[in-house]
Amino acid sequence: MTAATADDAPTQVPVILGDRSYDILIGTGLIESAGETIAARYPGRAVAVVTDAHVGAIHAEALEAGLAGAGIRHQRITVPPGEATKRFAMLEQVVDEILAARMERGDIVLALGGGVVGDLAGFAAAIVRRGMGFIQMPTSLLAQVDSSVGGKTGINTRHGKNLVGAFYQPGLVLADTDALDTLSTREFRAGYAEVAKYGLIDDPAFFGWLEQNWRGVFQGGRDRVHAIAVSCRAKAAVVARDETETGDRALLNLGHTFGHALESATGYDGSRLVHGEGVAIGMAQAFRFSAKLGLCAADDAARMAAHLTTVGLPTELAHIPGGVGDVDRLMTAIGQDKKVSRGALTFILARGIGQSFIARDVDPVAVRAFLTEELARI
Ligand SMILES: O=C(O)C(=O)C[C@@H](O)[C@H](O)[C@H](O)COP(=O)(O)O
């Protein structure tokens, strides 16, 4: 497998969706040069920059200097960092500030931040004036390889994760890899769970490459750019063939049925569990559940969990501080999963590494028995 370059020219990954096709640009200096890029692609548009207090303090000035240099009117809208920000009250605030800044339908909402900011800002872009322009500028690894691509936007509710939202594609994704240098190790690792996911879904060679080269991905440079580009290409291909998750796209949900239930059970408290950690535990559970059902070799479940453990990710309920409540609580959250159809549970299970599949009509009794065992290991 050849590594992508970390040279000056950004790596370009197209997302092919007819007249809503767009590019993902992956490279360095993209925050600073965004003003020029936007002026060239969207002449005359104003920009509402939605960011969180943490990311904004690090990157907003450089972005705004570029916007000002290109003569683009812009307004910063700042929300608190953390998953708890993905809620109705914050959506209302962002919408109100976009309107107060007199942004028009043709103007642009630009999400500068991680998955929370991207999902919230994207949903605001989808509904203000029935649809504004939208640019994703992901600053976390998780957002660069996953949430900024594919158009899933939305917020959480007390009933569960991402339960209110819209499919709303960005017109451009600018993934500045320099931004990853300011992430905490915990945040970077959480994003790495989504990188490993692509190998576990259907690319065993990529998973093997990660087992060999994960240190390079964490260090930065060519291996990191390569891992991001492989991830974005994989996601772009799935989204191009199933934009609204009527089929194959559900594969991208590997680890999310259990993972979302765990996030809900921990009250979206990032001090206990962040999304990528929930996905890491959820993927390990999906493989253990597959092994318990006799679908997958126990060795494969152990191998994938071992790799996640090697990079420092959690793989067990015992790794979540403060516990996750009882089995009823987890089953209630799982029952609200968006893949539930006519009341039947759908999981992404695996026949091996890189052999994930959509399992419909999964027996809730088997899920309950599995989770009871998992909880007993705490
Ligand atoms: O893009 C998708 O499709 C995914 O499922 C990718 C997930 O990693 C991502 O977290 C997504 O937002 C989850 O979607 P949801 O429909 O389960 O809320």
pLDDT in tens, 241-272: 999 999 999 999 999 999 999 999 999 999 99
* Beta-carbon contacts of residue 341 (< 8 Å; ≥ 6 apart): 360
Q: Please give the ipTM for the structure prediction.
A: 0.98
Cα-based distances in Å from 114 to 55, 143, 239: 8, 5, 20
> Does pLDDT of 126 surpass 70?
yes
Give catalytic status of residue 377 as yes or no: no
CA-wise closest residue to 94 among 110, 76, 81, 77: 77
| Contact present, 350 and 204 (Cβ < 8 Å) | no
* CB-ligand 1 contact for 146 (6 Å cutoff): yes
* CB-ligand 1 contact for 86 (6 Å cutoff): no
**pLDDT the model gives residue 5:** 46
Q: To the nearest whole number, what is the mean pLDDT of the chain?
A: 96
DSSP conformation class of 242: -
Tokens 């997958």 -> residue: 296
* CB-ligand 1 contact for 313 (6 Å cutoff): no
pTM: 0.96
Annotated binding-site positions for NAD(+): 115-119, 139-140, 152, 161
Give catalytic status of residue 256 as yes or no: yes
Annotated binding-site positions for Zn(2+): 194, 256, 275
| Residues constituting the chain | 378
For residues 137 and 135, give the distance between their C-alpha atoms in angstroms, rounded to a whole number.
6
Residue type for 160, please? G
Give catalytic status of residue 59 as yes or no: no
Instruction: Work out whether strand 11-15 and strand 356-362 pair parallel, antiparallel, or are unpaired.
Output: unpaired
In ligand 1, which atom is closest to the CA atom of 253? 5
| Contact present, 86 and 106 (Cβ < 8 Å) | no
Give catalytic status of residue 83 as yes or no: no
Q: In this predicted model, what pLDDT tens digit does every residue of 167-192 receive, in sequence order?
A: 999 999 999 999 999 999 999 999 99
What share of the chain in percent tops pLDDT 70? 98
**pLDDT the model gives residue 7:** 53
Name the residue at shortest CA distance from atom 10 of ligand 1: 147
Annotated binding-site positions: 115-119, 139-140, 152, 161, 194, 256, 275
* CB-ligand 1 contact for 339 (6 Å cutoff): no
Cα-based distances in Å from 119 to 73, 102, 167, 297: 23, 22, 10, 36
Tokens in use for 203? 């690319």
Does the CA dihedral 117-49-11-235 come out positive or negative? positive
User: How much of the chain is in helix, strand and coil states, percent to nearest 5?
Assistant: 55, 20, 30
- Residue 18: pLDDT band by 50, 70, 90 thresholds? very high
User: Ligand 1 center to residue 253 CA distance, Å?
Assistant: 6
CA-wise closest residue to 287 among 269, 267, 308, 271: 308
Q: In this predicted model, what pLDDT tens digit does every residue of 68-88 receive, in sequence order?
A: 999 999 999 999 999 999 999
Active-site residue, selected from the candidate residues 83, 253, 263, 288: 253
**pLDDT the model gives residue 124:** 99
Q: For a substitution probing ligand 1, which of 136, 253, 346 has the most ligand atoms within 8 Å of its CB? A: 253
The class that CATH gives domain 11-182 is alpha beta
User: Ligand 1 center to residue 64 CA distance, Å?
Assistant: 30
> Does pLDDT of 132 surpass 80?
yes
Tokens in use for 14? 């197209």
**pLDDT the model gives residue 3:** 44
Q: For a substitution probing ligand 1, which of 120, 142, 252, 260 has the most ligand atoms within 8 Å of its CB? A: 252
**pLDDT the model gives residue 6:** 46
| Residue spans per domain, the chain | 11-182, 254-376
Phi/psi class of residue 134: alpha, beta or left (left: φ > 0; alpha: ψ in -120 to 50)? beta
Domain 254-376: assigned CATH number? 1.20.1090.10
* CB-ligand 1 contact for 176 (6 Å cutoff): no
Give catalytic status of residue 41 as yes or no: no
What Rg, from alpha-carbon coordinates, does the chain have?
A: 20
User: Ligand 1 center to residue 66 CA distance, Å?
Assistant: 32
> Does pLDDT of 228 surpass 80?
yes
**pLDDT the model gives residue 8:** 73
Query: What is the phi/psi pair of residue 87, to 5°?
Result: -145, 165
Angle made by CA atoms 227, 22, 90, in degrees to the nearest 5 = 85
